[in-house]
Amino acid sequence: MLVSLTAAEMLAAARAIAKKIAKPVARPIARPIARPTARALAALAFLVIGVCAAAEGSEREPVIAAAASVRFALQDVAAAFYLETGQRVRLSFGSSGNLARQVRAGAPYDVFLSADPRYVEELARDGFALDAGKNYLLGRLALVVPRGSPLAVDGSLADLRLALSDGRLKHFAIANPEHAPYGQRAEQVLRRVELWDAIRARLVFGENVGQAAQFAVSGNADGGIIGAALASALTDRASAALIPKQWHAPLHHRAVLLNARSASARSFYEYLSSANARTLFRKHGFDLPGESS
């Protein structure tokens, strides 16, 4: 093979090859190689577009953009939906604020499950959703404390106050109040019990409530305020206590259809209010609108 030749051998080989194929008329040295390269590029572009188009051709499973607070519950609901209807959905989790921003930027989501009706109302007002959607869940906040933490599991947050003053508390996790509804409500709670100013320097913010839960439950923080439904799925790693719901504005979760493209998306949207879905949501620790808890 040519690859193992030295430069001198290469030179000789090139001359030999060139001599064999050379025509008597000398060619200009600097002739551009653009034409064959352009042809190769065009062929490649066609190949790529073709493969992408082939992938597009198959029926796309609708994408559900969901607040991280419903993660575990929604996985169960999606599994039940698949068992009942044979239709699959793809789940993408994030903070409600970030997902709403992505919807505005043109993300190909079909259903948006927000942990705050405000984001859905703004999307509907600006024409990014079919209508103003429906409230389908009511979330609760919980104090979570990982195994081995010096913090007591006390939903009234009395021990949190003590731990702050005696220096036991190093880090405390909540979701980012800027764009995560559970973070905003956690801030309300901490302000209400007048701990916000004292705890501020100890706070670590998750990008969404799922990441805050990860910080809190992994033991990297001494505790955190997260969604009760997330906490209930993690009882093998941490203990949790509900925080009184009068301490913060209600956490209404709102679902909305973003477009009319997918029939499966619509049936999944309807399925969220079905008896089976409601049972699953309740088992995960959510309250349901129109029911007393």
Partner 1 sequence: MRAPCFENTASIYPASRAEGHIEAMDWTALWLSLRLAVFTVVLLLPVGILAGRRLAYGEFAAKGLVEALVALPLVLPPTVLGFYLLGLFGADSPLGSAWQAFTGTSLVFSFEGLLLASVIVNLPFAILPMQRGFEAIPREVREAGACCGMTPWQVLRRIEMPLAWPGVLTASVLSFAHTLGEFGVVLMVGGNIPGETETISIAIYDRVQAFDNAAAARMSALLLVVSVVTIALTFAFSRRLGRRFN
Q: Hey, which residues between 73 and 112 contact partner 1 (CB under 8 A)?
A: 75-76, 78-79, 90-94, 102, 105-109
Nearer to partner 1, 43 or 249 (CB): 43
Q: Is residue 115 close enough to count as binding partner 1 by CB under 8 A?
A: no
Which residue of 67, 69, 70, 72 would you call a contact of partner 1, by CB under 8 A? 72
What is each CA distance from 82 to 77, 233, 254, 256, 274, in whole angstroms? 9, 21, 22, 20, 14
Token pair 């604020």 in the structure block, residue: 97
Select the span of 43-51, 115-123, 179-187, 270-278 touching partner 1 (CB under 8 A). 43-51
- Give the SS3 label for residue 212: helix
For residue 197, the minimal CB distance to partner 1 (Å) is 28
Q: Is residue 61 helix, strand or coil? A: coil
Q: How far is CA 50 from CA 38, 43, 44, 47, 61, in A?
A: 18, 10, 10, 5, 20
Radius of gyration of the chain (CA): 29
DSSP letter at 287 equals B
Binding span for partner 1 by CB under 8 A among 115-123, 181-189, 229-237, 252-260: 229-237
Tell me how far apart the alpha carbons of residues 188 and 203 are, in angstroms, rounded to a whole number: 14
Could you give the CA distance from residue 237 to residue 270 in angstroms, rounded to a whole number?
A: 34
CA distance 212 to 221: 9
Query: Which region among 14-22, 190-198, 250-258, 268-276 touches partner 1 (by CB under 8 A)?
Result: 14-22
Provide the mask over 123-142, with x wherever binding to partner 1 is found by CB under 8 A and - wherever it is not. -------------------x
When binding is defined by CB under 8 A, the residue of 21, 54, 201, 275 that contacts partner 1 is 21
Binding region for partner 1 (CB under 8 A) out of 30-38, 169-177, 195-203, 249-257 = 30-38
Indicate whether 30 belongs to the interface with partner 1 (CB under 8 A). yes
The half-sphere exposure of 171 on its side-chain side, counting CA atoms within 13 A, is 14
Residue 233 in contact with partner 1, rule: CB under 8 A: yes
Two tokens, residue 220: 């990297």
Distance between first and last Cα of the chain = 78
Q: Out of 46, 235, 260, 270, point to the residue binding partner 1 (CB under 8 A).
A: 235
When the beta carbons of 51 and 132 are compared against partner 1, the nearer one is 51
Write out the binding residues for partner 1, residues 152-211 only, by CB under 8 A: 152-153, 155, 208, 210-211
Amino acid at 49: I
The widest CA-to-CA distance across the chain, in whole angstroms, is 97
Asked whether position 285 contacts partner 1 by CB under 8 A, the answer is yes
Residues numbered 251 to 270 that lie near partner 1 (CB under 8 A) are: none
Say how far apart CA 73 and CA 189 lie, in whole Å. 24
Binding to partner 1 by residue 244, rule CB under 8 A? no
